[in-house]
Amino acid sequence: MPTITIVAGGNSVYSRLTGILNYTQEFLKRESIDVEIIQVHQLPSEALIKADFNNEKIQEVNKWIDKSVGVIFLTPVYKAAYSGILKTYIDLLPQKALKDKVVLPLALGGTYGHLLVIDYVLKPVLINLGTTNINNGVYIQDTQVTKQEDNTYTLADETKIRLNESLSHFVKSTRGEKHGIQIKHS
């Protein structure tokens, strides 16, 4: 069974980002895909801050990515960019960690004014890490994810439709069907 790793760059497991994470994980499991989840804020903070490439936990989660056919990067948007928490982990990935991986960026932000953060801020970094297959990402406005009293989340119907379409293309891409953006390196 193929494995997908989800890298969640939020600062809490009780945020709207978790609603998207849970929805994505459930979708992938229905597709018979094993899922590994890296909650970056739960990695050793000293290793992240000091860029400790030799930290055992960092090496362990980097191996998850290495063994995955695809990687989903999930981030909140702060100051028109992906989270600093995600950045600290991305800096610890080997230079070509995403070579031969299908990648899907997902972002959650407070306003549609940051809609292009995926294309102009996140994708260039992911390309630099060696990916040549980035699927079209999904930007979700935080008002489209509602936290319930029992710490579960509901997503707006329109958000579910867009996520389902994007995740379907992503899964097909991991199985060899071309739906993402192909980047040619010369």
User: In order of start, what are the domains of the chain with their CATH numbers?
Assistant: 3-182 (3.40.50.360)
Q: Is 55 helix (H, G, I), strand (E, B) or coil?
A: coil
Instruction: Please give the Cα distance from 169 to 154 (Å, whole number).
Output: 22
Q: Closest by alpha carbon to 76, among 29, 124, 145, 26?
A: 145
User: What is the distance between the alpha carbons of residues 86 and 66, in angstroms, rounded to a whole number?
Assistant: 18
pTM of the complete model: 0.93
Residue 183 pLDDT exceeds 60 = no
The candidate with the shortest Cα–Cα distance to 42, out of 21, 22, 57, is: 57
How would you class 64 by CB atoms within 10 Å of its CB: exposed for 0-12, middle for 13-18, buried for 19 or more?
middle
Residue 147 has which token pair? 């936290």
**pLDDT tens digits, 94-103:** 999 999 999 9
Q: What is the pLDDT of residue 151?
A: 86
Contact 40, 89 (CB under 8 A): yes
User: Beta strand pairing status for 145-147 and 153-155?
Assistant: antiparallel
Looking at residues 61-90, what average pLDDT do you find?
Answer: 96
Per-residue pLDDT at 185 exceeds 70: no
pLDDT for 184 equals 46
In degrees, rounded to 5, the angle at the alpha carbon of residue 21 between the alpha carbons of residues 32 and 111 is 140
CA pair distance 59, 53, nearest whole angstrom: 7
| Burial group, residue 162, by CB count within 10 angstroms (0-12, 13-18, 19+) | middle
Nearest-angstrom CA–CA distance, 22 and 6: 10
Percent of the chain with pLDDT over 90: 86
